[in-house]
């Protein structure tokens, strides 16, 4: 068994030499050491390991086509840049219109952080500003925390008003959003001052403050979205889509934002490829969640293409592997054993 396992490991390490169409600017790099798979003993261990070795070889082989002159154009898109693999070259194109996006996001984040901190303390029954709590790795009183936040906001407001600090805000077309965000920051300063004067966290006051500033957050979000999409659209036009060859796009995003994510919507419109639940309808658009490593994105794309071949060959459905292979059997088992499954009472108190 030992010799056979060594042979499998050797095959894994040699996958870069697999059959391919040539050098790719976006070749997948595999881990130096192959993972182990169960069963952990016997010949079936070797058989399963052999399958994964072959699959990894095919991953690398498929990726030789990414960006190759005779292969597919591949884009990896995050919120900040587009990695473009095309015609034997790989280039990173930053999305240049994002300064306003990040400025507005930072302003909104401050309010979200303030709300989450104070509401969490109130949920624990902590209202007195002289009470201590942990911030990072150190403890401070709520009063000290609020004074720090107030100083931070006052400094930020001075910078936003200054003509040179955030020059993107000085554009004529952004004068209205700049004025509203200045007012937004001042609202936050006023609220913190109110809490410091009262020396207690009042939930009704906190909720009133959030109700007042929520429209400014929405306004900032809307402007940030415009900046992101205009920047992305500019980059995509520069990359000359009319010259792309059988393109694929891997979109890097976070889990919570996946549904109707901005970049996904953009490419849905571009490719006329509406997305479904999770990977259900993915074809030219592939989404990777909570991972912004380009190599992992390329590996996922190669797996996506290989799994479509498996789905077509075994199930006459290229997208069959884009849901759990066990899903149909699971549905039947759950129906058959419905009365045996413990129920969570709807009246249960959330802990």
Judge if 197 and 122 occupy the same domain: yes
Residue 260 region, left (φ>0) first, then alpha (ψ -120 to 50), else beta?
A: left
**218 domain-assigned:** yes
How many structural domains compose the chain? Answer: 2
What single DSSP character describes residue 64? Answer: T
pTM: 0.84
Which tokens sit at 207? 């909720």
Q: How many CB atoms lie within 10 A of CB 107?
A: 22
Judge if 103 and 228 occupy the same domain: yes
**170 domain-assigned:** yes
Judge if 69 and 146 occupy the same domain: no
**344 domain-assigned:** no
**247 domain-assigned:** no
- pLDDT above 80 for 8: no
CA-CA distance, 292 to 55, in Å (whole number)?
23
**113 domain-assigned:** yes
**184 domain-assigned:** yes
Q: State the residue range of the domain holding 160.
A: 99-234
DSSP states along 230-284 = HHHHHHHHHT-GGG--S-EEEEEE-STT-TT-HHHHHHHHHHT----STTTT-SS
Contact 57, 11 (CB under 8 A): yes
List, for residues 201-221, the tens digit of each pLDDT value.
Answer: 999 999 999 999 999 999 999
Q: Given pLDDT bands bounded at 50, 70 and 90, which one contains residue 164?
A: confident
Judge if 230 and 305 occupy the same domain: no
Judge if 114 and 176 occupy the same domain: yes
**137 domain-assigned:** yes
- Closest by CA to 114, choosing from 142, 76, 140, 93, is 142
Contact 141, 130 (CB under 8 A): yes
**338 domain-assigned:** no
List, for residues 183-204, the tens digit of each pLDDT value.
Answer: 999 999 999 999 999 999 999 9
Residues 6+ apart with CB under 8 A from 64: 18, 20, 21, 22, 23, 24, 27, 71
Q: What is the mean pLDDT of residues 64-78?
A: 95
Judge if 124 and 222 occupy the same domain: yes
Judge if 224 and 267 occupy the same domain: no
């Amino acid at each position: 068994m030992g010799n056979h396992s060594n042979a499998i490991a050797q095959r894994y390490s040699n996958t870069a030499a697999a059959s391919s169409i040539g050098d790719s600017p976006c070749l997948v790099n595999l881990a130096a050491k192959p993972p182990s798979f169960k069963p952990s003993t016997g010949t079936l261990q070797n058989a399963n390991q052999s399958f994964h070795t072959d699959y990894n070889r095919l991953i690398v082989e498929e990726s030789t086509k990414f960006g190759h002159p005779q292969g597919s154009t591949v884009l990896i898109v995050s919120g900040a840049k587009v990695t473009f693999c095309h015609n034997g070259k790989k280039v990173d194109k930053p999305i240049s219109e994002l300064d306003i996006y990040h400025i507005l996001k930072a302003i909104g984040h401050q309010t979200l952080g303030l709300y989450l901190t104070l509401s969490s303390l109130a949920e624990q029954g902590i209202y007195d500003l002289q009470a201590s709590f942990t911030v990072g790795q150190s403890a401070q009183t709520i009063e000290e925390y609020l004074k720090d936040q107030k100083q931070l906001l006052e400094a930020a407001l001075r910078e936003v008003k200054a003509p040179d600090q955030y020059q993107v805000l000085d554009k004529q077309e952004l004068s209205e959003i700049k004025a509203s965000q200045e007012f937004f920051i001042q609202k936050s300063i006023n609220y913190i001052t109110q809490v410091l004067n009262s020396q207690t966290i009042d939930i009704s006051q906190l909720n009133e403050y959030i109700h007042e500033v929520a429209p400014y957050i929405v306004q900032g979000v809307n402007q940030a979205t415009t900046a992101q999409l205009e920047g992305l659209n500019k980059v995509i036009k520069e990359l000359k889509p009319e010259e792309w060859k059988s393109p694929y796009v891997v979109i890097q995003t976070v889990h919570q934002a996946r549904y109707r994510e901005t970049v996904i919507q953009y490419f849905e419109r571009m490719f006329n490829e509406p997305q479904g639940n999770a990977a259900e309808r993915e074809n030219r658009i592939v989404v990777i969640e909570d991972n912004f490593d380009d190599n992992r994105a390329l590996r996922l794309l190669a797996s996506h293409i290989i799994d479509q071949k498996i789905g077509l060959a075994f199930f006459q459905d290229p997208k069959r592997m884009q849901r759990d292979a066990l899903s149909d059997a699971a549905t039947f088992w759950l129906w058959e054993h419905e009365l045996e499954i413990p129920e969570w009472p709807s009246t249960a108190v959330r802990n």
